[in-house]
Structure 1
Amino acid sequence: MTIDPTTLAALSGVSTATITTVLLKKGLRNVWMRGTRPIRAGQPRVVGAAFTLRFVPAREDLATPESWSSPISTRAAIEAMPLGCITVVDAMGVTDAGIFGDILCARMAKRGVAGLVTDGVVRDLAGVLATGLPVWCQGAAAPASVTGLTFVNWQQPIGCGGVAVFPDDVVMVDDDGAVVIPNKLVAEVAAVAADQERLEEWIMTEVNQGASLPGLYPPNAENRARYEAWAKNR
Structure 2
Amino acid sequence: MTLDPSIREILSGISTATLTTVLLKKGLRNVWLRGTRPIRTGQPRLVGRAFTLRFVPAREDLATPESWSSPISTRAAIESMPEGCIAVVDAMGITDAGIFGDILCARMHKRGVAALITDGVVRDIAGVLGTGLPVWCQGVAAPPSVAGLTFVNWQEAIACGGVAVFPDDVIVVDDDGAVLIPKGLLDEVVAIAAEQERLEGWIMGQVEAGASLPGLYPPNAENRARYEAEK
Same fold (TM over 0.5): yes
Letter paired with 2:221: A
Q: List gaps (5 residues or longer) in structure 2.
A: none
CA RMSD of aligned residues (A): 0.5
Aligned to 2:91: 91
Deviation of 1:5 (Å): 2.3
Give the aligned partner of residue 60 of structure 1. 60
Contact preservation (8 Å) 1:10, 1:191: no
CA distance in structure 2 between the partners assigned to 1:100 and 1:146 by the alignment: 11
- Please list the CA deviations of residues 184-228 of structure 1 after superposition, one character each: whole Å capped at 9, or x if unmatched: 111111111111011001000100111111110000111011111
Match of 2:148 in 1: 148
1:103 is matched by which residue type in structure 2?
I
SS state at 1:171 partner: strand
* Partner of residue 120, structure 2: 120
Residues of 2 paired with 1:6 and 1:110: CA distance?
A: 24
| Deviation of 1:6 (Å) | 2.2
Which residue in 2 is equivalent to 1:162? 162
* In structure 2, distance between residues paired with 1:126 and 1:4: 34
- 1:202 matches 2:208: no
Number of the residue aligned with 1:183? 183
Q: Give how far 1:89 is off.
A: 0.1
1:27 paired residue number? 27
What letter corresponds to residue 130 of structure 2 in structure 1? Answer: A
Q: Which residue identity lines up with residue 86 of structure 1 in the other structure?
A: I
Tell me which amino acid in the other structure corresponds to 1:190.
V
Unaligned 5+ runs, structure 1: none
Whether 1:77 aligns to 2:106 is no
Compute the displacement of 1:8 (Å): 1.6
User: Aligned partner of 1:195: which letter?
Assistant: E
Local SS of the residue matching 1:6 = helix
Partners in 2 of 1:73 and 1:101 — Cα distance? Answer: 14
Moved more, 182-191 or 113-122: 182-191
Identity among equivalent pairs (%): 81
* Amino acid in the other structure paired with 1:191: A
The letter of the residue matching 1:117 is I
| Shift >4 Å, 4+ stretches | none
Q: Distance in 1 between matches of 2:2 and 2:106?
A: 23
Asked whether the equivalents of residues 199 and 227 of structure 1 are also in contact (C-alpha less than 8 Å), the reply is yes
Instruction: Give the TM-score normalised by the residue count of structure 1.
Output: 0.98
CA contact (8 A) 1:98 1:120 kept: yes
Secondary structure in structure 2 of the residue aligned to 1:94:
coil
1:86-137 deviation digits (Å, cap 9, x = unpaired): 0000000000000000000000000000000000000000000000000000
3-state secondary structure, aligned to 2:179: strand
* Partner SS state of residue 142, structure 2: coil
Q: Tell me the alpha carbon deviations over residues 38-88 of structure 1, each in whole angstroms, 9 at most, x when there is no partner.
A: 000000000000000000000000000000000000000000000000000
2: distance between equivalents of 1:114 and 1:169? 15
What is the DSSP-based 3-state SS (H/G/I as helix, E as strand, rest coil) of the residue aligned with 1:218?
coil
Instruction: Indicate the residue corresponding to 1:139 in structure 2.
Output: 139
Distance 1:206 1:192 in 2: 21
Instruction: Provide the rounded CA distance (Å) in 2 between the counterparts of 1:25 and 1:165.
Output: 20
Equivalent-residue separation in structure 1 for 2:161 and 2:23 (angstroms): 17
Q: CA deviation at 1:180?
A: 0.5
Q: Is the 8 A contact 1:7 1:191 kept in 2?
A: no
Counterpart-to-counterpart distance in 1, 2:121 and 2:6:
34
